[in-house]
Structure formats: structure tokens, C-alpha cells
Chain A
Amino acid sequence: MKTSEIEEILNSFDGITRAKAKPFMYTRVMARLQEENSFWSRTTRILSRPAIAFISLVIIVLINVFSIIKANSIVNEQEEITSFVHNTSAVEVLQNDNFILAVNDVNTY
């Protein structure tokens, strides 16, 4: 391409006039504002903010971690109770056995 042709292209914006917006811009902007002020639009806008989204995510993760820890502690408590019950019953069985043996001994004498 010739230098003169390039210069002509570079100057082709000379004398440009502004493009005109479609009529009733104000009415359309007001309609959009009303739409943006509706409950759902506001809620979505608030929730989609990065800070809010991040905080919500952190809260959800914390709730999950808390529930897992809580569930684990319940399982441990149950295991402790079960082992206690088992141990207690074993002792009781031994005690009963000893009692029966003692009674038998008394009876034989």
C-alpha cells in the first residue's frame, strides 16, 4: 500500500459526526433501573459480589468441618459407652460367677 493511501485511510475519520442514539433513551434507562431494583435482581447482585461469595463459601466449609468433627465426637462417645457397657457386663459376669462358686462352696461344706 502506498504511503499516500495509508495517510488517506488514517485521515478518513476527519469530518465524522456523532452517531445518534435511538429515541426514548430516558424511558428505557428508567425501565432498566426499575428492573435492577427488583428484589431478585438486588439479591443476585449482592450474592454475586466476590467478597460475599467468598464469605459464603468459607461459612459453608466451616459448617461442614464443624459437622464432621461433631459427628466424629458422637461416634467416639458411643464407642466409649459401648466399650464401658461391655467392660461392665464382663465384670458383672465374673462377679456373678464368683458369687455362684462361693455359694456352691458354702453348700458343699
Chain B
Amino acid sequence: MSEQILVEELKRGSNEAFKTIVDTYQDMIYNTCLSIVKNEEDAEDLAQEVFVQVYQSIHTFKGESKLSTWLYRIATTKSLDHERKKKRKKRFGFIKSIFGEDAQVEVNPPDFNHPGILLDKKEKATALFKAVDKLPENQRIAFILSKIEGLSYQEISEVMETTVSAVESLLHRAKNNLRKILENSNQ
């Protein structure tokens, strides 16, 4: 079934079409969310949320971009929102703990191991994930989509709704910043 037909079927409320979409894109969405939030349970939860949103708002999808581009956009937005909420909670938890209230401060696991990394590169990849975490949001998303999801500059520009040259610039700055972060981390 072609993508366009799938979308049309889903707009008509076909569960079969929705199942095909979930089965086709689940790993792509889960992997993207996991690379951003670095927590398997949260990524699983976010991937489900992405598909729930797809089901509920498929009528807003005009077909101007590829379905995968739209899905990437929802996944990155939701993951970044989740990260922001987590940071807010962390700050709030800290304030609560100052006032002596029993508050659990949520923290990302210090050493995140992506299950798809080659065994001999695990240690270095963990250091890279830590450094990527310190990048500004747009550089981080561009870097993850390029290096982990393997998207082309054109595809990234469509997901991020920007130009190809802007993506090139984002990735160039991301690499420079990562170099600086890594240099400073072991000084």
C-alpha cells in the first residue's frame, strides 16, 4: 500500500492502515525519541504518544511532506517538550528539597548506552551522548537526525522546517561545539 493511500485510509478511520503505519515506523520513532531522552521507558511512552497524536490529527496532515518527515517532526517536538518538563521538575524538586519537602529529583542516567552502538565504540559513544546533551536544541536535533537516524541534509531541513544551508551550518557548529565540550571535559 502506498503512503498516500495509507494516509487516505487512515483519514477514513481504517485501523488496518493505522496498524501498518505503527508497524512500519515504530522503530524509527522509538529510536529518535530514545536518542533524545536517553531513557528506554520514556522513549517507549513518547513513541506511543506520537502514534496517538498521528491517529488523532491525521486530518491535519496535508501530504505536502513525506509521512516520515511529519512523524519525525512530532517525535522530536514531543521529546524536546519531555526534556523541558523533566528539567522544570528537576528545578522544582530542588526548590522543594530546600524547603525540606521530600521531593525526588529526576535525573537522566549518567551513562546512557544506546543499544544500537557497536560494542567496541560503546564507551566513546557514551561520552559523545553526554556532550550532545550540552548542545543547543536545534544543533542537537540536527546532529541526532544526521548521525543516528542517517538522514540527509535535505531530509533534516524538511523535518526542522528550515533550509539545507541552515542545516549545514547547524551541523558545522554542532561539531565545533562538541569538540570544545570534549576538550574541556577531560582537562
Interface residues of A (CB under 8 A from B): 1, 6, 8-10, 12-22, 25-26, 28-30, 32-33, 36
Q: Report how many A-B pairs have Cβ atoms within 8 Å.
A: 89
Asked whether any CB of chain A lies closer than 8 Å to the CB of B117, the reply is yes
The secondary-structure label for the interface of chain B is: helix
- A25:B51 contact, CB within 8 angstroms: yes
Which one of B19, B23, B121, B178 has the highest number of Cβ atoms from chain A below 10 Å of its Cβ?
B121
Measured CA separation A32–B47 after assembly (Å)? 12
| Residues of B in contact with A, size category | 35 or more
Question: Using Cβ atoms and an 8 Å threshold, which residues of chain A touch B147?
Answer: 13, 16
Looking across the interface, which residue of chain A has its beta carbon closest to that of B41? A22
Q: Can you identify 5 A-B contacts, CB atoms within 8 angstroms? A: A12-B121, A12-B124, A13-B125, A19-B27, A26-B19
Q: Which of A10, A14, A17, A25 contacts B48 (CB 8 A)?
A: A25
A25 to B49, CA, bound (A): 11
Bound complex: CA A20 to CA B55 (Å) = 21
Which B28-57 residues have C-beta < 8 A from chain A?
28-31, 34, 43-44, 47-49, 51-52, 55-56
Contact present for A10 and B34 (CB under 8 Å): no
Question: Can you name the residue of chain B whose Cβ is closest to the Cβ of A22?
Answer: B44
What residue in chain A is nearest B21 (Cβ atoms)? A26
Q: How far is the CB of A51 from chain B (nearest CB, A)?
A: 18
**How far is A18 from B175 in the complex, measured between Cα atoms in Å?**
22
Is B34 touching A19 in the complex (CB atoms < 8 A)?
Answer: yes
Q: How far is the CA of A26 from the CA of B48 in the complex (A)?
A: 9
Please give the distance in Å from B184's CB to the nearest CB on chain A. 9
